[in-house]
Amino acid sequence: MPSDLVCFNPDCGRSYPIDDVLYNCPSCGSLVEVRNDFSGVKAQDLSDLWDRRRLSRKPLDVSGVWRFRDMLPFVTDESHVVSIREGNTPLFDAPQAASYAGLDALALKHQGYNPTASFKDNGMTAGATQARKLGMRRVACVSTGNTSASMAAYAAAAGMQAIIFLPHGKIAYGKLAQALEYGARTIQVDANFDQILALVRGLADELGIYLLNSVNPFRIEGQKSIVIEMLDQRDWRVPDWIVLPGGNLGNVSALGKGLRELKKIGLIDKLPRIGLVQAAGSAPFHHLYEAGFSGSLKPVVEPETLATAIRIGDPVSWQKAAFEVQTCEGVVAAVSEQEIADAKAIIGRCGIGCEPASAASLAGIKRFVDSGLIPPDVDVVAILTGHLLKDPDYVYHYHTGELKAPSGDEISSTFGNAPVVMPNDSAKIAAFLESDSG
């Protein structure tokens, strides 16, 4: 059976043709997802095939998403694929980060090594491919920065017009710079992410523009490749825990779907537990978790955090995320601005670095270990979602002791590393270096 679209709400469950332009079920309004038929697929055959492709120079095979294209069978004609060599991201051993969190060992899967320096590329290659398959000329998204940078690059590669909407003054400059350089029509709106998403969804329907936010089910399909590649790198050894930050909750939805599909095929024999981490000022999903997932998510009307990537109060994928988190016996934490800032500096000290939202993972792990939930000797992988250089202002302000939380509270520069100003005098510089133990 070819892939189709199916309503995520099990009480509805209606299905639709794969090439319908749908984000929500026309019948009940829930998000739709891609349903794939993997019957008859043999786990060993797949992993052998994926190993063989590592020796190939074919553009699809050198992509860390399309090497696993058998997991994305909605693509029936490979000429539709829009790829700029996404994926292939490293899985680092990070001993300093492990000891900071109180763990014996910790691995960091760094999605900031993607072509536009965030995990969004894993999903965007699939979303842009579906857009090309449908013959779309214009694509749009609202973004806290990374989705727009990624969509702008993929639209440019595919010859489509990119229209991006951003919360005015609330995105990191690295991300805005990317969107401008990749040629996207960039509209800054004086509203927050959640408000602009509602606006853009209306406009997209009215003007026939294809929406590439994570409500787009093909984005989720592409983002499954993050966990597929990570498990391939580990020879299909499932970690005890995977910990990641959550904003609009597309990524955790993709992670859960990918894990379920891998288990169904038999590539893995168990599910890891999921740790999802939000910034305390933008933590509606944490509130829902604390309420035992009963009832509906209550949006945070004015979300705040310096980790602007996850400054989201009304995450669209909360129902998918609630299902995936519960399926994986997951837990959800909310961490402070100070915890994020310090965890980020530690990831920097590993020689790795990441943007603020990504560091919520490590801050959350430290919480989980401190509370005894995660024992020190278990196998944990954290997903780092974006690159250090996405938000250089934050980095500079932290290290120079000038970083302030949205509340106005000062953030301590616990692991600060301010530059030293010296006169052009070799004796003085030599004396300073002699006295500096490093």
Binding site for ligand F0G (CB under 6 A): 118, 120, 143-147, 214, 245-251, 309-310, 355, 357-358, 385-386
Tell me if residue 166 falls in helix, strand or coil.
Answer: strand
Two tokens at 13? 């469950």
Task: State the nearest-atom distance from the C-beta of 59 to ligand F0G, in Å.
Answer: 26
- 104, 365 in Cβ contact below 8 A? no
Task: State the nearest-atom distance from the C-beta of 360 to ligand F0G, in Å.
Answer: 8
Task: State the nearest-atom distance from the C-beta of 390 to ligand F0G, in Å.
Answer: 7
**Rounded Cα gap, residues 40 and 344, in angstroms:** 44
Comparison of 272 and 386: residue with beta carbon closer to ligand F0G: 386
Task: State the nearest-atom distance from the C-beta of 370 to ligand F0G, in Å.
Answer: 23
Two tokens at 160? 């489509």
Tell me how long the chain is.
438
Q: Please list the residues that pair with 386 across neighbouring strands.
A: 118
Comparison of 129 and 143: residue with beta carbon closer to ligand F0G: 143
User: Quick one: which H or E segment has residue 261?
Assistant: helix 250-265
Task: State the nearest-atom distance from the C-beta of 252 to ligand F0G, in Å.
Answer: 6
Comparison of 166 and 267: residue with beta carbon closer to ligand F0G: 166
User: Quick one: which H or E segment has residue 90?
Assistant: none
Comparison of 245 and 353: residue with beta carbon closer to ligand F0G: 245
Give the residue from 438, 341, 358 showing the smallest Cα distance to 92.
358
Comparison of 309 and 388: residue with beta carbon closer to ligand F0G: 309
Comparison of 63 and 282: residue with beta carbon closer to ligand F0G: 282
Comparison of 36 and 305: residue with beta carbon closer to ligand F0G: 305
Q: Report how far apart, in Å, the C-alpha atoms of 425 and of each of 83, 421, 429, 431 are.
A: 51, 11, 6, 10
**Rounded Cα gap, residues 240 and 381, in angstroms:** 8
**Rounded Cα gap, residues 344 and 357, in angstroms:** 9
Task: State the nearest-atom distance from the C-beta of 142 to ligand F0G, in Å.
Answer: 7
Task: State the nearest-atom distance from the C-beta of 226 to ligand F0G, in Å.
Answer: 11
Two tokens at 373? 């939930």
Cβ-Cβ contacts under 8 Å for 40 (sequence gap 6 or more): none
Comparison of 267 and 324: residue with beta carbon closer to ligand F0G: 324
**Rounded Cα gap, residues 340 and 318, in angstroms:** 22
Task: State the nearest-atom distance from the C-beta of 333 to ligand F0G, in Å.
Answer: 14
Please compute Rg for the chain using Cα positions: 21
